[in-house]
Structure 1
Amino acid sequence: MRSWMAAAFVLAAACGGEVDAGEGRAVAEEARPGLHPALEDTVSTWVLPAMEAIPLERRSELLRLSTFVRNRIDAGEPARLTFICTHNSRRSHMAQVWAATAAAWYGIEGVETYSGGTEATAFNPRAVAALERAGFEIANPGGDNPRYRVRFGPDAPPLTCFSKVTSESPNPREGFAAVMTCSAADEACPIVDGAALRVSIPYIDPKEADDTPEETARYDARSLQIAAEMFYLMSRVRE
């Protein structure tokens, strides 16, 4: 938990812009968790308050995405979100996992989350560790590109997370929202084949802090930022 305190300070220092005080606490009253206890505590203590620090310009992109999700659900269709970064190793996986968690928290059915990249590498162990510190249960089967099984709750089906290119199965081929989570992928993929919507919410790569004293705090800060924005997204779907 101490690392999440450090992450909160890092995030507060990095985020600017106007905020609407009290927004995270208001939506928390309608939450339906079903999460692991440690993860539920992380969400209540750190994630929901961090929603207040989301800059207005990022909220506008998240609102576009929330409209997509709501419209798909209202039409009786699955709302498929594919989070994309260059190597599909850190930010895109965090976003995939946190978005699924946020949908469950707010009781939103029909949301399917995926991730991909312009090339495949592996789900970085540092990013995996950051999610474990937040309270996720993660099983690692081993291998060069492990197919991690990530659970946000004891009764939740696991998310299978591994590095892949955007067009690789099980990612959807059409009718999905492409969410660009890094600037490099945003520039490299001005058009994402099959996407019904393309939005850009880039995050600074925590890789910059690898093998430094700031590594844990930087990864936790990025995880917290992504979590707050995914919870904001799903809270707007509930409106």
Structure 2
Amino acid sequence: MLESISINTALFFETALKELEIDETRVKLLQSIALFIASEIKDDKPVNLNYICTHNSRRSQLAQVWSSYACTYFKLKNIESFSGGTAATTFFRNTVKTLQEVGFKFQLLKFSHQNPEYLISYKNSTNPIVGFSKLYDNEHNKSPFIAVTTCSNADENCPFIPNATQRFHLPFTDPKIFDGTLYQAEKYLETNKQIAGEIHFIFKNIKNSI
């Protein structure tokens, strides 16, 4: 059981990879994502990663934040991370909380009852991450981009994603099903950890391939 306490971000990121449990099919998928990104970098192409989930409220936000963190951790340049949805809702409060628990700092940039905007930072960060729920083709998200769908609904509802140079389907279990239960914080932290671990795996392979 994961404890819901404040954790050092780098330690959490490293532990997430060490304790990552995935099957061979998933490993091959992560490796293919890493190899494609590495090939783009080798060709001196800027890489824009767009993590897409139906509501851009949980999994895609976690993936964007950890992807941005991984770029700093591995000192990788010419990679930017974004997220979006097939509908805009809110950067869900439980998602914010689970990121705060592992050391990310949230500053309110623009107040909104429905969809506030945050500046998200972490130790040694230079450029804060702008976090809010938006459509995947929002003007904030740079194009062209590599699309990574993080839920099955987004993958099924977007048979074609304009401006996507490549597309990968990397689904995660939605922690939403535990909202309002005694397991809420634990399950969000588990999802947070899995995404951190898989993003770590991808970016470690990118670093080793360039």
Specify which structure has the higher proportion of helix.
1
Identity %: 33
Offset of 1:238 from its aligned partner? 1.4
Q: Which residue of 1 aligns with 2:74?
A: 106
Q: Decide which of 124, 134, 138 is 1:164's aligned counterpart.
A: 134
Q: Decide which of 65, 71, 83 is 1:115's aligned counterpart.
A: 83
Q: Give the match's secondary structure for 1:140.
A: strand
Q: Which residue of 1 aligns with 2:122?
A: 152
2:11 aligned with 1:41, yes or no?
yes
Q: Which residue of 2 aligns with 1:180?
A: 149
Offset of 1:2 from its aligned partner? 5.2
Q: Which residue of 2 aligns with 1:229?
A: 198
Offset of 1:4 from its aligned partner? 5.7
Q: Decide which of 69, 75, 82 is 2:37's aligned counterpart.
A: 69
Distance 1:3 1:54 in 2: 22
Offset of 1:104 from its aligned partner? 1.4
Q: Which residue of 1 aligns with 2:3?
A: 3
Q: Which residue of 2 aligns with 1:140?
A: 108
Conserved 8 A contact 1:4-1:217: yes
TM-score (norm 2): 0.92
Conserved 8 A contact 2:2-2:189: no
Residue type of the partner of 2:129?
L
| Structure 2 segments unaligned to the other structure (5+ residues) | none
Q: Give the match's secondary structure for 1:134.
A: coil
Q: How many residues align?
A: 205
Change (3 A) 1:155 1:172: closer
Distance 1:112 1:179 in 2: 13
Summarize the alignment of residues 17-56 of structure 1 with structure 2, pairs less than 5 Å apart.
Answer: 38-44=8-14, 46-51=15-20, 53-56=21-24
Q: Which residue of 1 aligns with 2:65?
A: 97
TM-score (norm 1): 0.81
Distance 1:124 1:136 in 2: 15
Q: Which residue of 2 aligns with 1:58?
A: 26
Offset of 1:208 from its aligned partner? 0.2
Residue type of the partner of 1:61?
L
Distance 1:50 1:149 in 2: 29
Distance 1:2 1:206 in 2: 14
2:184 aligned with 1:215, yes or no?
yes
Residue type of the partner of 2:69?
T
Conserved 8 A contact 1:106-1:238: yes
Change (3 A) 1:194 1:229: same
Conserved 8 A contact 2:12-2:193: no
Q: Which residue of 2 aligns with 1:199?
A: 168
Offset of 1:49 from its aligned partner? 1.0
Q: Give the match's secondary structure for 1:203.
A: coil
| Structure 1 segments unaligned to the other structure (5+ residues) | 6-36
* Aligned Cα root-mean-square deviation (Å): 1.8
Distance 2:10 2:35 in 1: 26
Offset of 1:54 from its aligned partner? 2.4
Distance 1:155 1:118 in 2: 29
